[in-house]
């Protein structure tokens, strides 16, 4: 063993971009990477929210900047990477977290819903990864890329057709990128979260009464062997592992963090 556990998880001097990092899973990941010593670029389409997260992080003396970016736009991917390098001098880690999950059945699906979901959830990962990989290669070192997939990439929830298709795509794109970039020293892995308590997920229950929400929650918890929903920090911890030297021999893997939902 050439390094201690503390050394393996030390991200001091590393620079990370977290897309959709202003809240929810993205924020949970950003906080853990920052705690390990990384300088963080909180990339989000909501700049005000990203700035609030950065302000919170700086109170703990974490190094962070906020960047407004739309993951569906290739130009924003390139600009975000450049802003990371301008702010901190390098780029070592990319976490592709930004995503949307509009509800729509087969009958109600529209071209607009489909295209927007695929553009943000799948196209965004491709081109943010491309921009990050080019920067890492130009700097003469490898890096770590972590994609946020979903259990929906393996098991459809229902009425989330575009989301499920996009996350299935993320699983395979992760493997394809891993194979393509392994020779460049860039590890590409994914996390497939299950039900995570986030502001966005809570918004999906808006319009329901407390009794209805309680009933839905109880029924859903019955499908999770561990008996609870996850937290953003549950995913943040896995992301820290995949971004660290502890995962140096992993690439093309999808780590499921779902409380046992898929095996339940």
The residue ranges of every structural domain in the chain are: 5-263
d(CA 228, CA 131): 37
Give 175's pLDDT tier (boundaries 50, 70, 90). Answer: very high
Least confident segment among 70-74, 93-97, 122-126, 218-222: 218-222
Position 104 scores a pLDDT of 94
Count how many Cα atoms sit within 13 Å of the Cα of residue 222 in the half-sphere of its side chain. 6
d(CA 91, CA 143): 8
Query: In the annotation, is 249 catalytic?
Result: no
Q: What is the mean pLDDT of the chain?
A: 95
Mean pLDDT for the stretch of residues 29-54: 98
Position 217 scores a pLDDT of 77
Q: Choose the catalytic residue: 101, 163, 249, 261.
A: 163
Asked if the model's pLDDT at residue 124 lies above 80, the reply is yes
Select from 3.40.50.720, 3.40.50.300, 3.40.30.10, 3.30.559.10 the CATH code of 5-263.
3.40.50.720
Give 264's pLDDT tier (boundaries 50, 70, 90). Answer: confident
What is the residue-wise DSSP string for the chain? --S-HHHHT--TT-EEEEETTTSHHHHHHHHHHHHTT-EEEEEES-HHHHHHHHHHHHHTT--EEEEE--TT-HHHHHHHHHHHHHHHS---EEEE-------B-TTT--HHHHHHHHIIIIIHHHHHHHHHHHHHHHTT--EEEEEE--GGGTS--SSBHHHHHHHHHHHHHHHHHHHHHGGGTEEEEEEEE-SB--HHHHHTTTT--HHHHHHHHHHHHTT-TTSS-B-HHHHHHHHHHHHSGGGTT--S-EEEESTTGGG-
> What is the tens place of the pLDDT at every residue in 196-216?
998 766 555 555 677 766 776
Mean pLDDT for the stretch of residues 42-67: 98
Asked if the model's pLDDT at residue 156 lies above 90, the reply is yes
- The answer to whether 61 touches 29, Cβ cutoff 8 Å, is no
Position 201 scores a pLDDT of 62
Question: Which pair of tokens denotes residue 74?
Answer: 């290739």
pTM metric for this prediction = 0.95
Position 204 scores a pLDDT of 52
């Amino acid at each position: 063993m050439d390094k201690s556990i503390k050394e393996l998880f030390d991200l001091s001097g590393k620079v990370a971009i977290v897309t959709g990092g202003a809240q929810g899973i993205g924020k949970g990941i950003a906080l853990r990477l920052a705690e390990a010593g990384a300088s963080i670029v909180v990339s989000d389409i909501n700049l005000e929210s990203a700035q609030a997260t950065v302000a919170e992080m700086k109170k703990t003396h974490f190094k962070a900047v906020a960047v407004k970016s739309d993951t569906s736009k290739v130009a924003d991917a390139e600009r975000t990477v450049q802003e990371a390098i301008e702010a901190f001098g390098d780029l070592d880690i990319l976490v592709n977290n930004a995503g949307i999950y509009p509800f729509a059945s087969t009958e109600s699906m529209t071209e607009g819903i489909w295209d927007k979901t695929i553009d943000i959830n799948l196209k965004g990962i491709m081109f943010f990864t491309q921009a990050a990989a080019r920067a890492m290669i130009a700097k003469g070192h490898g890096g770590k890329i972590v994609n946020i997939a979903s259990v929906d990439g393996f098991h459809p929830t229902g009425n989330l057709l575009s989301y499920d298709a996009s996350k299935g795509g993320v699983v395979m794109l992760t493997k394809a990128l891993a194979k393509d970039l392994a020779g460049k020293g860039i590890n590409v892995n994914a996390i497939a979260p299950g039900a995570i308590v986030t502001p966005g997920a809570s918004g999906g229950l808006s319009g329901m009464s407390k009794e209805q929400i309680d009933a839905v929650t109880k029924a859903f918890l019955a499908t999770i062997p561990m008996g609870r929903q996850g937290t953003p920090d549950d995913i943040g911890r896995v992301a820290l592992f995949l971004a660290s030297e502890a995962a140096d021999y992993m690439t093309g893997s999808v780590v499921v963090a779902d409380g046992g939902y898929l095996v339940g």
